[in-house]
Amino acid sequence: MDKKEHTRRLIVKPLDFTFGETEEDALLLDCGKKLTKANIRYETYGQLNHAGDNAVLILHALSGDAHVAGYYTENDEKEKPGWWDDMVGPGKPINTNQYFVVCSNVIGGCSGSTGPRSVNPETNRLYNMDFPVITIADMVRAQHRLMKHLKIDKWLGVIGGSMGGMQVLEWARLYPEQIQCAIAIATTPRLSPQSIAFNWVGREAIKTDPKWDNGNYTDTVPDKGLATARMLAHVTYLSDESMKRKFGRVLQKSKNYSFDFNRDFAVESYLEYQGLRFVERFDANSYLYITRAMDYFDMSASAAGNLTKALAGVKCHMLVISFTSDWLFPTSQSRELVRALLNNNVHVSSCEIKSSYGHDAFLLETETLGKMLADFLRIQREVMRNG
């Protein structure tokens, strides 16, 4: 690895791909409605080779976007790199000197792709709550349009954590011939009632904010409601252990309780900060739609709850990774997935990584994760070339 590469910024630019201009080209959604004149915001890193066997698709989680790595500017010191910058780039585990990496914002999102805050081409007004309820499979069908646009016949790998992992599983189900390998990290084959419940409460917090206005807010966004939803979700991303180590019962200002209802504990201050930052970069209606897509995610649905039967068509090699302290999508849920894959004689590797970071470990345990992914991708590329 060239040291210079590590000091020089990887510069990327966001790209757009529009589909569904005609009625025939519209995307038929699981709800029965069609999405027309839709945009996908995406970024690419590295070069697609002539053999076309080095393309890797990365799928983002609930609050992620297409900007998986790199920077938009050469010198802006305030700019933060993409959300998985430790994992993706020249000389990094998902090495963009070797792989052509693609990452796109999900439909329903709010970071460039068509979502509830986009203009409805039928009315020329914002969709808001007229946007159709989408599913994880719908997100993947839109990504498949992008794949064709990029003239990629087969992904070497599709990789994602959390909701990104759900998309990985839908890719393996919907397009089994077009994936060499799939890497599902910190995810689940179906959303549990506990997670559905947390999503419900988060959405209620948004709807309670008068500024939400049935989704028709304009300049004054429902910041309080969205911040509350985010804070709740954030607690589920951490582990009890990591919160104890990070915050304990430390007070913000003094040694004594303030005996009021403002932030008193460090953990309260941290959550408030996370809520405020989130409101700056995320949209409340998108939050409703994307959490609903997660609620509806159930890989066993196509076979009436029988996960083994539902996964019968999976053909790619798979790597399933979970983390010991992740209580949102615990290892038991990954194991259920692995058992169903093994029942179908899928080539599946699995690993539970020891970590105290909770669900967020998929973003933080990049050293362990990086080695695993780099090796798996390297081997899969050999298999793909020889097969």
17 binds a copy of itself (CB under 8 A): no
Q: Give the one residue of 113, 228, 322, 356 binding a copy of itself; rule: CB under 8 A.
A: 228
Does residue 254 have an active-site annotation? no
CB of 129 to a copy of itself, least distance (A): 8
| Complex with a copy of itself: residue 206 or 316, whichever CB lies closer | 206
235 binds a copy of itself (CB under 8 A): yes
Please list the residues that pair with 38 across neighbouring strands.
19
In the set 326, 334, 355, 356, the catalytic residue is 326
Q: Give the one residue of 99, 282, 296, 323 binding a copy of itself; rule: CB under 8 A.
A: 296
One-character DSSP codes across 255-284: SS---SSS--BHHHHHHHHHHHHHHHH--H
What does the per-residue mask of binding to a copy of itself show for 248-287, with x meaning CB under 8 A?
A: xx-------x-xxx-xxx-xx--x---x------------
139 binds a copy of itself (CB under 8 A): no
CB of 247 to a copy of itself, least distance (A): 4
One-character DSSP codes across 292-357: HHHHT-BTTGGGTT-HHHHTTT--SEEEEEEETT--SS-HHHHHHHHHHHHHTT--EEEEEE--SS
Which is nearest to 357 in space by CA: 332, 384, 322? Answer: 322
* Residues 254 and 345 sit within 8 Å (Cβ to Cβ): no
Total of chain residues touching a copy of itself, rule CB under 8 A: 56
Q: Give the one residue of 1, 31, 119, 303 binding a copy of itself; rule: CB under 8 A.
A: 31
Distances (CA, A) of 387 to 44, 316, 380, 382: 26, 12, 10, 8
Amino acid at 85: D
What is d(CA 328, CA 198) in angstroms, rounded to the nearest whole number?
10
Contact stretch for a copy of itself (CB under 8 A) within 61-69, 246-254, 306-314, 374-382 = 246-254
Angle among Cα 366, 101, 282 to the nearest 5 degrees reads: 70
CB of 364 to a copy of itself, least distance (A): 18
339 binds a copy of itself (CB under 8 A): no
In the set 162, 195, 350, 356, the catalytic residue is 162
| Complex with a copy of itself: residue 107 or 271, whichever CB lies closer | 271
One-character DSSP codes across 182-234: EEEES--SB--HHHHHHHHHHHHHHHHSGGGGGGT--SS--HHHHHHHHHHHH
What is d(CA 22, CA 344) in angstroms, rounded to the nearest whole number?
39
| Complex with a copy of itself: residue 204 or 375, whichever CB lies closer | 204
Does residue 325 have an active-site annotation? no
CB of 258 to a copy of itself, least distance (A): 8
352 binds a copy of itself (CB under 8 A): no
CB of 96 to a copy of itself, least distance (A): 37
Does residue 113 have an active-site annotation? no
What is d(CA 307, CA 339) in angstroms, rounded to the nearest whole number?
9
What phi, psi does 84 have (nearest 5°)?
-130, 40
What is d(CA 181, CA 57) in angstroms, rounded to the nearest whole number?
11
What does the per-residue mask of binding to a copy of itself show for 308-337, with x meaning CB under 8 A?
A: -------------------x--x-------
150 binds a copy of itself (CB under 8 A): no
| Complex with a copy of itself: residue 192 or 349, whichever CB lies closer | 192
SS3 251: strand
What phi, psi does 17 have (nearest 5°)?
-135, 125
Determine what percent of the chain falls in helix, strand and coil, rounding each to the nearest 5.
Answer: 40, 20, 40
Residues lying near a copy of itself in the complex (CB under 8 A) are found at 30-32, 129, 132-133, 190-194, 196-198, 200-201, 203-205, 207-210, 224-225, 227-228, 231-232, 235, 238, 240, 243-244, 246-249, 257, 259-261, 263-265, 267-268, 271, 275, 288, 292, 295-296, 298, 327, 330
Active-site positions?
162, 326, 359
